[in-house]
Structure formats: C-alpha cells, structure tokens
Structure 1
Amino acid sequence: MISAEQNELMTRVGHGTPAGNLLRRYWQPVALSEELTGPRPLKPVQLMGQHFVLFRDETGRVGLLDRDCPHRGADLAYGRLESGGLRCAFHGWLFDATGQCMETPAEPAGSRLCSRIKQGAYPVVEKSGIVFAYIGEGEPPAFADFDCFVAPDSHTFAFKGLWECNWLQALEVGMDPAHASFLHRFYEDEDTSESYGKQFRGASADSKMAITQVLREYDRPEIRVQPAPHGMQLTTLRKLSDEQTHVRVTNVVFPQAFVIPMSSEMTISQWHVPVDDTHCYWYAIFTSFTGPVDKKQMREQRLQTIELPLYTSRKNKRNEYGYSVDEQLNKTYTGMGEDINVHDQWACESMGPIQDRTREHLGTTDKGITLYRRILVKAIEAAQAGEPLPMQPNAEEAGALTGPPSIDGVSTAEGADAYCEQADLARRRGSDWASARLSA
C-alpha cells in the first residue's frame, strides 16, 4: 500500500522537490525538432514547472534559456531572433545560445555591462527528431547507444502529445502488459497488411495471427519482470496452444521511458515528460529495422487525433474522448475509437490529475509497476544523499548500452525463454543499419 507521503514523494516534480531533483539529473525531451522550423524557430517551453525559451539561431545552433530577461524580467518568448542570438523586445538586450549577453544597446557607448550578464542557459542535444535538454546540476550523463538514437534519420520518426495528468501514472501504463487485452481490445481483426503505423493492428512476428486476436482471446498472461542495466525488462507470455507461445518483451529505461514493439519491423521509444505536476507530454521515436519510415503517412495518421500547435488530443475529457455506446458494444472495448493513445490517455486522465495511490489494490500482473516504484524511491533517496544514480553512464558505458530488445512474436512453447534474443538477433541481421553495428 502506498502512503500519501510516498505518493507525494514520487509524483511532485517542481523545483526543489525530491523527485524533481532526481529527474533534473537526466536528459529530458523539450520539443520536436519540427517545432523549430519556419520563419521564427522559437517556442516557450515548460518543464517540471520551470519556464524556458527554446530557439534556433541563424547558424542553426539551438539554445535553451530561462524565459525571464535578466534585465527586468520581460518575456523572452516574444523576443527577436537576430544578430546571432535572441534579443529582448523590451530594451534590446541580446543573448546567444549559451546565455551570454552580447549587447545592451540602451547603455552608454563603451559600457561593459553586457560582459557581466549571463542568462540561465542549459545544454541541449538533438536526437532523432527530438530536442533534449539537461536542466540539472553537474555534468549530464552520456546518451546510450540505443536503437532509437543510432538508427539513421531516414529510419526514425518522432512525435508527441499532451496529457492532462501526472507524469508517473502516464509512465506506468507502459509497464502494465495486462491492460492491452482489455483497454486495447478490438472485436474484429483488420487486414494486417494495412496496419502500417498502427500499434496492435498488425501480425505478430513468425506468425500470421493478428495481434488483436492474441490480446482478445488470451487475456491471462504470465508476466516476468527483471532488473536490467537500463532499468527493467518485462516478458509477457500468452500460451496459444501446447505447441506455441506468444512472447512480448518490453523495457523500462530509467527514469521515465519505455521501449516497446510496435510491429515486427518497428519499435517505439517513449518518454513521459512532466510539464508540471498535473500535465505531461509523451514523446515517441518510432524506429524501423527494415526500410525508411514513411514519415508523411506516420504524421498524417497522428494528426487525425492530435491538434497543433500544442499537440493536444482532439479526443479528451471535454468531449468524452469521442465515446460511442454503439462502438463499445460492437467494435472496441472502450468505445473511444481505434487510436490506442486515446485509450491510454483516458485511462490515465480518469485517475485524476494526480492518482491517489492510497486507494489502489495491486495484483500479480502489476509486478512491473511495483518494481519500478521501488527503483524510483531508491533513486530519489540516493539523489538526496548525494549517492550514485542509476542510468548515469559515461561515454564508454553508454556505448555498451544497446537495444534494448523489444519483440512481439510467436515462439514454440519450448523455445519461449530464448525467443527474444534469437528474434532480436535475426531482425538485426536483416537490417542494413543494425547489421552494420553487429559487425563493427
């Protein structure tokens, strides 16, 4: 049973909070690269309750600065991109991507004031279509050589969406394999050849059986959870017959990402990033092991339920997530359409802005959530004590963190334990970019 104090400890992420201090020690997604395009590549960003301005200067360099001008606190999100930096519209003070003040034009000629002014600035890195920022103390960890970061740009696609709930309940849906048999249940199986870009609509690897059929007909999975160098790995087994077992392997990358199979050719790496205590963005990188990603099709599919410029959901609590009684009776388990992100959004937002975990009763299938919470609390305590944290690799260690393997397929019953490793290796050998890494 989680106490109210423990719930507060895990969920609150504002400046100075224990969990907030922990999450600030990791790279956090703050925008899609596509948001820094067009005539004015600048956007305000809120991360864990703090306010920043993100911009790309004329040379292509990206900067993340505190949003309030250090002169008199005016909003830099309304500034002008010019002269190699961001100029405040109030008095014309100019800052480069490192936060250094380059001009204070209203000051007397010869003034050296600007040399003494430094705006708060934070490291940023672009990876696979996402801008990551580090807003914590000390040196940031190295990026692990995970598939989503090392695949060529042509083989990745990034997108995001806003949910109106705490980051932790959003993350926990990704470490709960049992819910897919219910929340994402479809009463009819589509042509799996038409499933590109859709999760839970294709066929499992090494099988012609639709994943929707597997989830619908085999809803009492055996779930195995074990710690892993990146966080933890979950293996979900569904016995189809005496001869065959469905195997699904997913991963949690500490502190707040999961890596799951989308199809036999594609994986999803997804972060749940706190805007504040009661809102979060999911950021996802879709990684293909076969051909280049059809980014146009992937984007158009997601824009059917996501509305720009804030990437908010068209189906939400204000329109009952598009709920239809007829659909719930005849087509989908939720009656909320076929986009599983909407299903997950409803489940997480329906718990309230911050889930009251003192009222929950966890079962056997929640073992992944239980283990993660233990890892999270231990890491929060380590951060408070100044002790080493999990998943803080240096460059050499980051190079040894690959994968992590995420598989959805059908195995022989006796080969289920070894299936993930074998299927993952076979997929890599058949991939141009991944096979090159095997031989390196």
Structure 2
Amino acid sequence: MISAEVNERLTRVGPGTPGGRVLRQYWQPIALVDELDAKRPVRAVRALGQDFVLFRDEAGRLGLLDRDCPHRNADLAFGRLEDGGLRCPFHGWLFDVQGQCLDTPAEPEGSTLCTRIRQRSYPVEIRSGIVFAFLGEGAAPPFPALDCFTAPDTHVFAFKGLISCNWLQALEVGIDPAHASFLHRFFEDGDAAQSYGKQFRATSDGSDLPMTYVLREYARPRIEVENTDYGLRVTALRTINDATTHVRVTNLVFPQAFVIPMSAEMTITQWHMPVDDTHTYWVAIFTSFAKPVDKAQMRAQRLESYSLPDYLPKLGRHNDYGFDPDEQATATYTGMGEDINVHDQWAVESQGAIQDRTRENLASSDKAIAANRRLLLRAMAAMEEGRPPALMQDAEATRRIIGPATIDTMAPTAEWESRWRDAVARRRGAAPWAPPALAAE
C-alpha cells in the first residue's frame, strides 16, 4: 500500500510531472511504420499527454512536430504534403521535418517572417517496424542493442493495441510472473502444431509439457528479482518434482518495457507508451531466432482482436470483454477467450483508469512490482536533483546491453542457474543474426 501522493507521482506523465520528465529521457514508440503506409502518410499522434503530427515528406524523410500550427494553432494533422513539407490548410504556412518554416504565402511579398518561425520538432528513428521519438530535452540517448533491434527485418514483427488505463498498471501485469497461472489458465492443453504466434500455448525449451500445463498445475512459483544494467531480471521457479524445476526468466527494460519468452523460438519485447494518464498503447516487437517470422500469419491473428486504423480492441468494457460464463466453467479461467491480450486488458482496465494503490496489499509474489516502483522513484528524485536517471543514460554502457536473456525451460533443480543460461546460449547459437554471448551475463 502506498500513499495517494506517491501514487500520483508514479502515474502522471504530462509535461513537468516527475514521471513525465523521466519517460521523456527515453525513446518512446509513438507509431508503427505500417501506419504511414498510406497514400497520405500523415498521422496524428498523442503521447505523454501531448499532441504531435507524424509525417513522411515527398523525399521520404520522417518528421514529428507539435500538432498545433504556430500561426493560430490550427491542426497540422490535416495539413497538405507538398513543396517539401507539411502545409497548414488555414493560411498555407509550410514546415519541413525539422520544423523550419519554409513559406508564409499570405504575407506581403518580400516578408522574412518565415525565417523567424520554427515549429518544435523531435528526433525520430525507425527500429524493427516501429517509429521511436525522443520527446525530452537535450541529446537523445543511444538505443541499446536489444535482440529486437539487432535481428533483421525478416525475423521481427511489430504490432500494437490500445488499453484504456494508466501506463504503469499496464506495465505491471507484464512483470508479475504469478498471474499467468490464473489469468491465462486453460483447462485443456491445445495442439502444439497450432501454437504459432500464441503465447503460453507451445512447449517449454527441453520439455514436452505445454506451458498451459506447467502454469495450470504449478501455480506457486518462487520469484527472484535481480537488478541489472537495463532494469530488472525476474525469475519464476516452479518445482515440477525433486529433480526438475521449470525456469521462466523475464525482464523489465526500464522504464516501460518488458522482454518475455513467447515460445522456444520467439520472444516479445513490449513497451507501454502512455497516450495520456488514462490511455496506453502496448507496442510489441516479436523476435524470432532461427526462423523468419511469418508476418502475414502474425498480423492476421492480431487483427482478429484489433481494428484499424487506430488499433482499437474489439473486446472491452463496452461488451464485457466477450465474457462467457459457460467458457469460464469449462475452458478458460477468465471466460474471455484465448487471446492473452484480452485477459491482460480486463485485468488492468478493471483496476480503474488510474489504479488507486492506497487500496492494494502487495504480496510476496509482487517483488518485481515493488522493485520497479523503487527504480521509478529513484529516477524521479535524480532528475529533481539535476542528474539523469541511472539506467541506460550512459552511451558506452548502453551500447553494451544486448539480449536481454529470456527463456522458458526445464532444468535439473540443482543446476537451474547454469542450465537456463545454457538454453539461452543454445537458442542464440542457432540464430544467424544473434551475438554469441550476452554482455550482461
């Protein structure tokens, strides 16, 4: 349980808030590249409680500008792509991707007004199908060499979906290893041949037991949390018998991503990008090791649950998340279908738009959640003292961060600490693109 003041501090992301200042020191996944694959590549973007316009100019360059025209604040998301930039339809003011005003055509001949006008622009980078933006002050930090950024385009797939709640509770479900045994419980194990692209439906590394069975039958994991150069490593240990332990290693990449295993072949790196204080996009990169990703199948699976162009969930509070009491009695623990994202969406949205943590009672299984909150509060305090957040702000150290290692595997109980690393090394060894070792190990 925490105070209302601390809860406010942890959750608010607008300009000038302690949390907003921290998040603005890190690259934010503001859009999918797919969102600009249109005849008119212009998208309104809302992130961290601010409004922007993202566009690709005629030369293919990307720009991210404040959304309100600096003339009289009309909406640049309705602008015209022409003459080397984005032109406001109100009075024709034209801006390039750097925010420089190129033309003020309604002004008198010879006017130099446009030389004195600049719309604020923000650095943008494309990584693995996602447009990332740096929304803070000063120089942008380097990107860590995470697997999802290192793998070639053939081995990654990006997608996203909207959640109607605060970003922190959306993140916290992903660093909670205990919930999967309940929220994502299936009463029957599916056909492994039909598990591609689906979380918790395949078998673990080194085992013929499907993850659905492991989670369902071994619901009391021992959880260990370690501080790392990138955030936290979270290990959930489920004792299968005296000789064998199931090891699930997941990671928090500070401040708002987690890296988890999807199957023996694929991992998920998922950010939780605050639209504002009460709406969040999960933005994920699915990374495959030995085999290229079947992007068509992955996309088709996810479009069964999300609608374009805004990636809105088809199930939600408006239709009780598809809840079926007969299904809850016989097939799934939630009665909300097989899509893991729907389960998570219900869990975090049902906590309220911003969870009231003054009413919660953390348990021993919530070690990672408590540890992450401490990291956030320390980062906020550092910024208030004029220092950068500690994690991934040093360029040289950040470039050495690779991985991070994540796995579901069976291991001899006495050797689990070395065996899960062996499983990670074996999988990486089969990947034509992966570095042979993890700098953090």
TM-score range normalised by the length of the shorter chain = over 0.9
2:422 maps to what in 1? 422
SS at match of 2:148: helix
Shift of 1:396: 2.6
1:432 aligns with 2:424: no
SS at match of 2:403: coil
Q: Contact 2:411 / 2:420 at 8 angstroms: preserved in 1?
A: no
1:15 aligns with 2:49: no
SS at match of 2:145: coil
Q: How many Å separate the matches in 1 of 2:264 and 2:80? A: 46
SS at match of 1:380: helix
Shift of 1:390: 2.3
Shift of 1:289: 0.3
Q: How many Å separate the matches in 2 of 1:392 and 1:96? A: 31
Q: How many Å separate the matches in 2 of 1:431 and 1:30? A: 29
2:83 maps to what in 1? 83
Shift of 1:272: 0.5
1:336 maps to what in 2? 336
Q: How many Å separate the matches in 1 of 2:59 and 2:392? A: 31
Q: How many Å separate the matches in 1 of 2:3 and 2:393? A: 32
SS at match of 2:248: strand
Shift of 1:435: 5.1
1:50 maps to what in 2? 50
Q: Contact 2:250 / 2:258 at 8 angstroms: preserved in 1?
A: yes
1:251 maps to what in 2? 251
Q: How many Å separate the matches in 1 of 2:437 and 2:151? A: 10
**Residue type matched to 1:35 in 2?**
E
Q: How many Å separate the matches in 2 of 1:423 and 1:175? A: 21
**Residue type matched to 2:30 in 1?**
V
Cα deviation digits, residues 258-311 of structure 1 (max 9, x gap): 000000010000001111110000000000001110000000000001111111
1:359 maps to what in 2? 359
Q: How many Å separate the matches in 2 of 1:354 and 1:173? A: 14
Aligned pairs for 1:60-75 (under 5 A) are 60-75=60-75
1:140 maps to what in 2? 140
Aligned pairs for 1:164-183 (under 5 A) are 164-183=164-183
Q: TM-score, normalised by structure 1?
A: 0.98
1:110 aligns with 2:110: yes
Cα deviation digits, residues 351-409 of structure 1 (max 9, x gap): 00000000111111001101111111111111111113122344432321000000011
1:197 maps to what in 2? 197
2:188 maps to what in 1? 188
Shift of 1:83: 1.1
Q: How many Å separate the matches in 2 of 1:437 and 1:404? A: 11
1:377 aligns with 2:377: yes
Q: How many Å separate the matches in 1 of 2:415 and 2:312? A: 43
Q: How many Å separate the matches in 1 of 2:223 and 2:111? A: 67
Cα deviation digits, residues 307-338 of structure 1 (max 9, x gap): 11111110100100000000000000000000
**Residue type matched to 1:182 in 2?**
F
Q: Which runs of 5+ in 1 are unaligned?
A: none
SS at match of 1:274: strand
Q: Contact 1:144 / 1:393 at 8 angstroms: preserved in 2?
A: no
Shift of 1:436: 6.8
Q: Contact 1:69 / 1:75 at 8 angstroms: preserved in 2?
A: yes
**Residue type matched to 2:74 in 1?**
A
1:131 maps to what in 2? 131
Q: How many Å separate the matches in 2 of 1:78 and 1:386? A: 39
Q: How many Å separate the matches in 1 of 2:229 and 2:41? A: 37
Q: Contact 1:254 / 1:390 at 8 angstroms: preserved in 2?
A: no
Q: How many Å separate the matches in 2 of 1:47 and 1:300? A: 27
SS at match of 1:370: helix
Q: Contact 1:405 / 1:420 at 8 angstroms: preserved in 2?
A: no
Q: Contact 1:57 / 1:81 at 8 angstroms: preserved in 2?
A: yes
SS at match of 2:271: strand
Q: How many Å separate the matches in 1 of 2:255 and 2:309? A: 27
Q: Contact 1:12 / 1:277 at 8 angstroms: preserved in 2?
A: yes
Q: How many Å separate the matches in 2 of 1:277 and 1:346? A: 18
1:154 maps to what in 2? 154
Number of residues of Structure 1 aligned to a counterpart in Structure 2: 439
Q: Contact 1:328 / 1:335 at 8 angstroms: preserved in 2?
A: yes
SS at match of 2:242: coil
Q: How many Å separate the matches in 2 of 1:319 and 1:139? A: 45
Q: TM-score, normalised by structure 2?
A: 0.98
CA RMSD across the alignment: 1.2
Aligned pairs for 1:250-289 (under 5 A) are 250-289=250-289
Q: How many Å separate the matches in 2 of 1:267 and 1:12? A: 30
Q: Which runs of 5+ in 2 are unaligned?
A: none
Shift of 1:173: 0.4
**Residue type matched to 1:275 in 2?**
V
Q: Contact 1:176 / 1:366 at 8 angstroms: preserved in 2?
A: yes
Q: How many Å separate the matches in 2 of 1:180 and 1:78? A: 43
1:388 maps to what in 2? 388
Q: Contact 1:248 / 1:409 at 8 angstroms: preserved in 2?
A: yes
Q: How many Å separate the matches in 1 of 2:51 and 2:296? A: 32
Q: Contact 1:102 / 1:115 at 8 angstroms: preserved in 2?
A: yes
SS at match of 1:284: strand
Cα deviation digits, residues 139-180 of structure 1 (max 9, x gap): 111000010001001100000000000000000001100000
Q: Contact 2:128 / 2:156 at 8 angstroms: preserved in 1?
A: yes
Cα deviation digits, residues 162-219 of structure 1 (max 9, x gap): 0000000000001100000000000000111220000000000111110000000000
